[in-house]
Amino acid sequence: MRVVFLQKYLPQEMLGIACLSRTLKDAGHEVRVLFLPDPEWETKLLVANPGLIAFSLTTGDHRFYLKVAERAKALTGAPTIFGGPHPTFVPDIVLDDAVDFVCRGEGERALPELATQLELRDDPYSVDNLSYARDGVRIDNALRPLAASLDGLGFPDRDPIYSAASIYRECDRKIFLTQRGCLYNCSFCFHHAWRDKLYHAKPKEYLRKRSVQHVLEEIDRVRSLYPLKFIHFLDDIFNVDEEWLAEFCDAYPKAIGLPFDVILRTNLTTREHMTQLKRAGCISARLAFEAASDRVRNKIYRKGTSLADLKNSSRFVKDEGIRLTTLNLLGAPGATLQDELATLQLNVDCKVDHPLCSLLQPYPETDINDMTRDMGFAVDAFDRFPEKFNRTTSIAFERRHEIENLHKLFPIFVRFPVLMPLVRPAIKRRSLSKLYLALYLLWTEYLVCEQNQTVAQATKTASFGTSPPVDLLRRVSAKTVLKVREALFGRRFSKQRLALQMEEDTIAHTGG
């Protein structure tokens, strides 16, 4: 059977689809990917003649995918299946006529089994992990156990993604994952809900690491087939296992030798970790600060870290000459303005190179969603959640505009601390919100240019054109031309637009 994934263009290749493609092909099925927007997607879908149409989505995206699924079903008559965080935690989406099945949790075994059942015209409603609707009632099948061995799933199959979109194939910065799951209980993250509410698994059962050898073999295979000069490891916590980290840092330089970046947990990060990572080729590290206030960080966000952890880990990163990126989260229920400003000051004190800041979104089934409502804050309906977590907050704070303004100015004030006395009066100005957004977008562009230069220096491709001021001029000019073109001829998909967005958004990964 031919399974077709309909997927928005995102700033990075979708490893979830690649993992599903691996197990589908191993079960004898064919996989294709069609990316949106594409003015010819309907024609391409008809030519593909799918037996099953699959979608992976998050909260905020779901409205878009429901419309696409409705049209796709009308065109082909093929059944549709929704998977990913939103359908898993809001399985009632299967009650919509556009959705035939929902896959709850991991889909590597459920999706091939469904495709086989459909191909054999057997009973597709018996497949574990699936939800479906009957007479207007949602029915949930049993949930099969978590995949115990990630090595046993094989290498993610990127070929359908790269065949459908040369922008991903030709990009020489690619995404890799070395693990699945998390040990920790951050209230805003999907992991605790996935682990505790869905699978009822113990933390050590939920966190699964690939062997170092398996990871290195995948990287080497990708490098032999596609351009590859820099690696983004997008594991939520790269240093969660000290023995694994030591083995990786010893083997990686000899087997691969490409520069890379990682996300680290502050209370696990030691000076020895940073020395090991530096020798292995790490040029950039992201630390999840979230908040400076112990009450916000540990009582509300449940990070389980100390202020000393944040400061010490930052110093260890900087001492090795590694670019320091931080992940910060504004808009916690019960946080005061002073709490938010303390997070800003912490980034200033730690001399952060690249401060990334998000606005809290209380996503479905996360504990922060319940906490927010229990504290008396109204939360937008899921259908009103923003597609982008870094534009608006979905919590109805009385001072919502101040939080959103602080978010836009946050990275600017961190890098220009002389402006700190202006923070309080600046964020009160509702009338300047659009100006702040413009400044935020421009400064974000510059930070991306700095990161580009770091990568260029590590890959020995630095030149006059990669210097941040020149690169910024290139990016801004390209976007201006695109805006003018869109104003004259209408908004259409542009590979140039996506390439620019990939540079910006891949860096802005939200770790936990």
In the numeric block, the tokens 């104003």 are attached to 487
Domain with 87, as residue range(s), is 2-140
- Confidence (pLDDT) at 509: 40
pLDDT above 60 (res 493): no
Q: Assign residue 44 the CATH number of its domain.
A: 3.40.50.280
184 plus 105 within the same structural domain? no
The answer to whether residue 460 is domain-embedded is no
Residue 133 backbone dihedrals phi, psi, to 5 degrees: -110, 140
Q: Is the dihedral of CA 314, 318, 322, 326 positive or negative?
A: positive
107 plus 216 within the same structural domain? no
- Confidence (pLDDT) at 510: 34
Closest CA to 329 of 262, 407, 436, 440: 407
Token readout for 147 is 């995949």
Q: Which residues contact 309 (CB under 8 A, 6 or more apart)?
A: 266, 267, 269
pLDDT band at 356 (very low <50, low <70, confident <90, very high): very high
Beta strands 179-180 and 230-233, pairing class: unpaired
Amino acid (1-letter code) at residue 452? N
The answer to whether residue 496 is domain-embedded is no
197 plus 244 within the same structural domain? yes
Stretch among 307-311, 368-372, 380-384, 469-473 having the lowest mean pLDDT: 380-384
Element (H, E) at 476: helix 468-489
The domain boundary, picked from 452, 472, 502, lies at 452
User: 126-167, pLDDT tens digit by residue?
Assistant: 999 999 999 999 999 999 999 999 999 999 999 999 999 998
Q: Write a three-state SS string for 397-426.
A: CCCHHHHHHHHHHHHHHHHCHHHHHHHHHH
Beta strands 173-176 and 179-180, pairing class: unpaired
The answer to whether residue 156 is domain-embedded is no
The arithmetic mean of pLDDT across residues 364-370, rounded, is: 89
Are the C-beta atoms of residues 173 and 455 closer than 8 Å to each other?
yes
The domain boundary, picked from 140, 160, 189, lies at 140
The arithmetic mean of pLDDT across residues 438-464, rounded, is: 91
Q: How far is CA 202 from the centre of its chain?
A: 24
pLDDT above 60 (res 503): no
More confident residue, 123 or 507: 123
The answer to whether residue 108 is domain-embedded is yes
Residue 175 backbone dihedrals phi, psi, to 5 degrees: -95, 140
Token readout for 270 is 């030691």
Amino acid (1-letter code) at residue 70? E
179 plus 99 within the same structural domain? no
228 plus 135 within the same structural domain? no
User: 52-73, pLDDT tens digit by residue?
Assistant: 999 999 888 899 999 999 999 9
Residue 459 backbone dihedrals phi, psi, to 5 degrees: -95, 5
175 plus 132 within the same structural domain? no
Whether the bond between 37 and the residue before it is cis, its omega within 30 degrees of 0, is: yes
More confident residue, 492 or 157: 157
The answer to whether residue 104 is domain-embedded is yes
Amino acid (1-letter code) at residue 403? I
The answer to whether residue 477 is domain-embedded is no
- Confidence (pLDDT) at 462: 92
- Confidence (pLDDT) at 361: 87
Residue 30 backbone dihedrals phi, psi, to 5 degrees: -105, 145
- Confidence (pLDDT) at 512: 34
pLDDT above 70 (res 290): yes
Look at phi and psi of residue 253 and say left if phi exceeds 0, alpha if psi is from -120 to 50, else beta. alpha
Largest Cα separation within the chain, whole Å, is 69
Q: What is the C-alpha to C-alpha distance for residues 407 and 401, in angstroms, rounded to an integer?
A: 10
- Confidence (pLDDT) at 506: 46
In the chain, the N- to C-terminal Cα span, in Å, equals 38
When mean pLDDT is compared over 341-345, 380-384, 502-506, the highest value belongs to: 341-345
User: 410-437, pLDDT tens digit by residue?
Assistant: 999 999 999 999 999 999 999 999 999 9
222 plus 113 within the same structural domain? no
pLDDT above 90 (res 11): no
Q: What is the C-alpha to C-alpha distance for residues 234 and 100, in angstroms, rounded to an integer?
A: 32
User: 247-272, pLDDT tens digit by residue?
Assistant: 999 999 999 999 999 999 999 999 99
Q: In degrees, to the nearest 5, what angle opens at C-alpha 321 toward C-alphas 319 and 326?
A: 85
What percentage of the chain reaches a pLDDT higher than 70?
92
Q: What is the C-alpha to C-alpha distance for residues 153 and 161, in angstroms, rounded to an integer?
A: 18
- Confidence (pLDDT) at 382: 72
pLDDT band at 507 (very low <50, low <70, confident <90, very high): very low
The domain boundary, picked from 422, 452, 482, lies at 452
pLDDT above 60 (res 500): no
Burial of 504 (0-12, 13-18, 19+ CB in 10 A): middle
261 plus 380 within the same structural domain? yes
pLDDT above 90 (res 42): yes
Q: Which residues contact 41 (CB under 8 A, 6 or more apart)?
A: 6, 34, 35
- Confidence (pLDDT) at 395: 77
Q: Assign residue 271 the CATH number of its domain.
A: 3.20.20.70
Token readout for 417 is 């601390």
Q: How far is CA 141 from the centre of its chain?
A: 28
pLDDT above 70 (res 508): no
- Give, as one character, the DSSP assignment of residue 69: H
How many structural domains are present in the chain? 2
Using CA atoms, how far residue 496 sits from 231, 340, 369, 502, 503, in Å, is 22, 36, 38, 10, 11
pLDDT above 90 (res 330): yes
Q: How far is CA 116 from the centre of its chain?
A: 30
295 plus 398 within the same structural domain? yes
The answer to whether residue 490 is domain-embedded is no
pLDDT band at 481 (very low <50, low <70, confident <90, very high): low
Q: What is the C-alpha to C-alpha distance for residues 76 and 6, in angstroms, rounded to an integer?
A: 13
108 plus 217 within the same structural domain? no
The arithmetic mean of pLDDT across residues 282-306, rounded, is: 97
Coil, helix or strand at residue 354: strand
The arithmetic mean of pLDDT across residues 211-223, rounded, is: 98
Element (H, E) at 153: none
Are the C-beta atoms of residues 59 and 363 closer than 8 Å to each other?
yes
Are the C-beta atoms of residues 321 and 284 closer than 8 Å to each other?
no
- Confidence (pLDDT) at 502: 52
pLDDT above 50 (res 9): yes
The answer to whether residue 309 is domain-embedded is yes
Q: With the CA atoms of 9, 11, 14 and 16 taken in that order, what torsion angle do they form, in degrees rounded to the nearest 10?
A: -110
Stretch among 21-25, 82-86, 220-224, 385-389 having the lowest mean pLDDT: 385-389
More confident residue, 88 or 397: 88
Q: What are 139's strand-pairing partners?
A: 132
Q: How many CB atoms lie within 10 A of CB 143?
A: 16
Q: What is the mean pLDDT of the chain?
A: 91
Q: How many CB atoms lie within 10 A of CB 488?
A: 7
Q: What is the C-alpha to C-alpha distance for residues 66 and 77, in angstroms, rounded to an integer?
A: 15
Using CA atoms, how far residue 481 sits from 436, 446, 494, in Å, is 22, 18, 12
113 plus 210 within the same structural domain? no
81 plus 197 within the same structural domain? no
